Amino acid sequence: MKVRLTQPGFETYTGQMGVIFFQDGLSTEDVLPIDAIRLCAVFGAEWEDGTPANIAQRLLDEADTPAQDVNGAAEAAAAQPATEAPAGEPLATSTEQPAKTYTEEELAAIADKDGIAGLRAISDGLGVKGNSIRGLIDAILKIAGTPKATA
C-alpha cells in the first residue's frame, strides 16, 4: 500500500526520503510496513486509504488478533486410543537401612579419637552435612543410628 505525507509543508513533497520515492506527497510504489513506521516516526504520514501508518495504530489493529488454534491437534491426539507403555523397573524405595548402624556412644568415641574429621568420614558416606560434633552425631543418628530404648 502507498503512503501519503500529512506533515505540514510536505503534503506536496516530490523526491526521495530514505528508500521511499514521493510524487506530490504520495509514494510512487507500495511501501513496506516497517518503512512506513520509520517514516511516520519522523514525519506525519498515513496509508493512502487514510489509516495512520504509525506503530501505535499497528498495535491497536493487531491487539484483538486471535492466537493460532493449537487445541485441534491436542484434541486429535486425545481421540487416539491410548496404548499402554511397557512397565519399567520399579522405583527404588528409600526405606532401605544403611549398611552399618551406630550408637551415640560409638560416635562419641570416634569423635574423641579422631575429632570432627572422623565423624565427617562417616557422614560423607551418608550424605549428611554438619559444622559441629554434636550436629554431626545427631544427623548420623537420625539416618544410621540404633533406636533408643524407651523405659
pLDDT digits (tens, 9 = 90+) for 84-130: 655 565 555 555 555 678 888 888 898 899 888 888 888 888 888 88
Radius of gyration over every alpha carbon of the chain, rounded to an integer in angstroms: 39
Domain definitions of the chain by residue range? 3-62, 104-144
Separation CA 137–CA 133 (nearest Å): 6
Strands (E), the chain: 3-5, 15-17, 20-23, 26-27, 45-47
Q: Cα angle vertex 77, ends 71, 82, to 5°?
A: 145
pTM greater than 0.85: no
CB 14 within 8 A of CB 23: yes
